[in-house]
Amino acid sequence: MKAGNGPPPPRAIIFDWDNTLVDVWPAIHDALNTTFAAMDHPTWSLEETRSRVRKSLRDSFPEMFGARWTEARKIFYDRYAAVHLDQLKPLAGSAEVLSWLAGLGLYLGVVSNKAGGYLRQEAERLGWDGFFGKIVGATDANSDKPDPAPVEMALDGSGIGAGPDVWFVGDGAIDVQCALNSGLTPVFFLRDGTEAELIRHNLVQFVDAQCRVRGMEGLKKLVQDRFAPISGR
């Protein structure tokens, strides 16, 4: 995509989950610090958790805990399973805009580095599972985000191939990397600190200025703008 041209109208939109559609950081933070305490590691502040958690557990825990990573995995998932549904909150505008996008006939999917089972439980709890053709989490595919494998799985059966008319919406550098690796258009949610993350990873130039939006309402406006020349909306 050439800078300044804007993205093509989407045929499909793939979403990140945490901090894009929902806020479940308190549960992630709780489970991580429970794990750190059990493994004699220093605990993190909530701000550190928000800024540091990007990779899937199977990619990050071996780096953090070495040979004991499977022990740490069990501690984390036991605690997360106990608290995540009670602490799950949709972000502003998520339900309304997802419903609107589905009403346009767009194919919607989710690609997250959260374990797939918990991801689908959360979508079901919110009543959102009907919005998405596929909800793909960590370990569902052979590799996790930013690898293209989960995107390929999310689009499988939709009749839509990976390309610029598939948008990948997220709030982290790893989402932009996944979009680029998969040949999709990255759409980036501007929240506190997120643009600085793009700069740190030298990715700003790969996200069209029109594709840096303020949350779900910003996404809705971008979709409206891209369809306007075609439909008159």
- The predicted-structure confidence for 52-83, as pLDDT tens digits, reads as follows 998 899 999 999 999 999 999 999 999 999 99
Last residue of a domain, one of 83, 113, 133: 83
What does the pLDDT look like over 115-134, one tens digit per residue?
999 999 999 999 999 999 99
The tokens describing 49, both together, are 């958790």
The total of other beta-carbon atoms located within 10 Å of residue 228's CB is: 11
| CA proximity to 120, closest of 110, 135, 108 | 135
- Asked, for residue 215, whether it belongs to a domain, the answer is yes
What does the pLDDT look like over 155-201, one tens digit per residue?
999 999 999 999 999 999 999 999 999 999 999 999 877 888 899 99
Claim to verify: residue 190 and residue 150 sit in the same structural domain = yes
- Half-sphere exposure for 218 (CA within 13 Å, toward CB): 16
Please provide the average confidence, as pLDDT, over all residues in the chain. 93
Q: Strands (DSSP E) along 95-133, which ranges?
A: 107-115
Claim to verify: residue 209 and residue 129 sit in the same structural domain = yes
- Asked, for residue 5, whether it belongs to a domain, the answer is no
Claim to verify: residue 49 and residue 157 sit in the same structural domain = no
CB 88 within 8 A of CB 118: no
Q: Strands (DSSP E) along the chain, which ranges?
A: 12-15, 22-23, 89-90, 107-115, 134-138, 166-170, 185-189, 212-213
pLDDT grade for 6, boundaries at 50, 70 and 90 = confident
Claim to verify: residue 35 and residue 18 sit in the same structural domain = no
Claim to verify: residue 162 and residue 199 sit in the same structural domain = yes
- Asked, for residue 227, whether it belongs to a domain, the answer is yes
Claim to verify: residue 98 and residue 77 sit in the same structural domain = no
Claim to verify: residue 94 and residue 77 sit in the same structural domain = no
Claim to verify: residue 67 and residue 141 sit in the same structural domain = no
CATH number of the domain bearing residue 189 = 3.40.50.1000
Claim to verify: residue 54 and residue 100 sit in the same structural domain = no
Residue 191's contacts (CB-CB under 8 Å, 6 or more residues apart) are: 19, 171, 215
CA atoms of 150 and 137, how far apart (whole Å): 8
Give the chain's domain count. 2
SS3 135: strand
pLDDT grade for 2, boundaries at 50, 70 and 90 = very low
The tokens describing 96, both together, are 């309304």
For residue 96, the enclosing domain spans: 12-23+90-231
